[in-house]
């Protein structure tokens, strides 16, 4: 993350006239997002910053110079976060734990959604094209639709994960506001619990749904395709997720090491 608070010049660059309150608000915004610093800590830092700015102004500095100097003396946001992390460890872990829980649930939800989407698109699509899911020579004839199912599932999953990633990265404030709104309305919290449950039931209800639309002889073929596809997906994910973890972990560890002057 960019070390915004230690770099107050950046804040000023796109402003024609310096406004102290805006500058302080920008400075606070960077730290407000960090789990290491509580609102009360931030209020105290703001009080300090304003005292310091006033003191430097009293000593003859302009408002902007006083703000830059006061911010510099207070310390960069990375250093502040590191120090405050030592006293707010429970909050840091709460923040991490929340993200882990959100991740686990989002993964399960996106998985169910992708399965439903892939089944609807592939089975429905093939059936509408006149494809017959044959009963004899079960596994061999199921291989075609199974590979179709696997590919559509992966495409759905990739689209869902990319969408979720985009939401988290680009619409962070919007998401935060939405979460804030949901958390304080019991009905919405109910919805938050019921939506995954509903999807799960819908996923399970595929069987009676299939029985209604397809002749008995084809259901066996469809189920065989789905079971092969689900095996293929599991294998792919079981291999690729640990590989992805190792790749990201290596990048992270490398970024922790101090850079050497002579490589």
Partner 1 sequence: MGVQNVQTPGRAGGAVVKPEMGLDKPNGIMHNATMLSRELVAASTVPLVLSILGEGETYGYALIQRVRELSGGRIEWTEGMLYPVLHWMEEAGQIKSEWRESDTGRKRKYYHLCREGREALQGEREQWLTVHQTLTRLWKTKHVSI
Quick one: which of 7, 28, 41, 120 contacts partner 1 (CB under 8 A)? 41
The gap from C-alpha 19 to its chain's centroid, in whole angstroms, comes to 34
**Cβ nearer to partner 1, comparing 31 with 126:** 31
Kindly compute the dihedral angle of the four CA atoms of residues 130, 133, 136, 137, in this order, to the nearest 10 degrees.
110
The span from the CA of 89 to the CA of 226, in Å, is 46
The span from the CA of 83 to the CA of 76, in Å, is 11
Quick one: which of 2, 87, 195, 211 contacts partner 1 (CB under 8 A)? 87
Residue 80 binds to partner 1 (criterion: CB under 8 A): yes
Helical pair 138-170 and 89-128, crossing angle rounded to 10 deg: 140
CB of 46 to partner 1, least distance (A): 9
Quick one: which of 74, 157, 160, 222 contacts partner 1 (CB under 8 A)? 74
The span from the CA of 70 to the CA of 53, in Å, is 6
Quick one: which of 58, 86, 169, 184 contacts partner 1 (CB under 8 A)? 86
CB of 45 to partner 1, least distance (A): 6
Q: Count residues contacting partner 1 (CB under 8 A)?
A: 23
Quick one: which of 30, 34, 52, 150 contacts partner 1 (CB under 8 A)? 52
CB of 103 to partner 1, least distance (A): 25
**Cβ nearer to partner 1, comparing 81 with 115:** 81
CB of 52 to partner 1, least distance (A): 6
Whether residue 207 contacts residue 213, with contact meaning beta carbons closer than 8 Å, is answered with no
- Provide the b/e sequence for 107-145 (b: ≥16 CB within 10 Å): eebbbbbbbbbbbebbbeebbeeebebeeeeeeebbeeb
CB of 232 to partner 1, least distance (A): 44
The span from the CA of 255 to the CA of 263, in Å, is 15
The span from the CA of 85 to the CA of 76, in Å, is 14
Whether residue 205 contacts residue 126, with contact meaning beta carbons closer than 8 Å, is answered with no
**Cβ nearer to partner 1, comparing 37 with 123:** 37
Q: What residues between 121 and 140 interact with partner 1 by CB under 8 A? A: none
Chain residues in the site for partner 1 (CB under 8 A): 41, 43-45, 47-48, 50-52, 54-55, 73-76, 79-80, 82-87
């Amino acid at each position: 993350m960019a070390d915004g608070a230690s770099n107050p010049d950046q804040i000023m660059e796109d402003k024609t006239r310096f406004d102290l309150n805006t500058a302080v608000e920008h400075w606070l915004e960077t730290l407000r997002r960090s789990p290491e610093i509580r609102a009360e800590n931030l209020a105290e830092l703001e009080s300090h910053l304003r005292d310091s700015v006033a003191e430097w102004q009293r000593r003859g500095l302009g408002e902007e110079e006083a703000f830059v100097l006061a911010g510099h003396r207070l310390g960069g946001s990375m250093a502040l976060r590191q120090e405050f992390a030592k006293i707010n460890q429970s909050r840091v872990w709460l923040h991490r734990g929340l993200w882990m829980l959100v991740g686990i649930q989002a993964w399960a939800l996106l998985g169910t959604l992708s399965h439903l989407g892939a089944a609807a698109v592939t089975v429905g699509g093939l059936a509408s094209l006149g494809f017959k899911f044959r009963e004899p020579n079960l596994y061999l004839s199921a291989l075609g639709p199974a590979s179709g199912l696997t590919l559509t599932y992966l495409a759905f999953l990739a689209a869902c994960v990319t969408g979720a990633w985009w939401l988290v990265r680009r619409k962070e404030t919007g998401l935060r506001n939405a979460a804030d709104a949901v958390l304080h309305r019991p009905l919405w919290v109910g919805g938050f619990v019921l939506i995954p449950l509903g999807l799960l039931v819908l996923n399970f209800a595929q069987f009676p749904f299939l029985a209604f639309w397809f002749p008995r002889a084809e259901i066996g073929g469809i189920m065989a395709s789905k079971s092969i596809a689900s095996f293929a997906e599991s294998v792919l994910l079981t291999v690729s997720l640990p590989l992805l973890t190792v790749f990201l972990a290596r990048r992270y560890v490398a970024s922790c090491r101090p850079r050497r002057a002579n490589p």
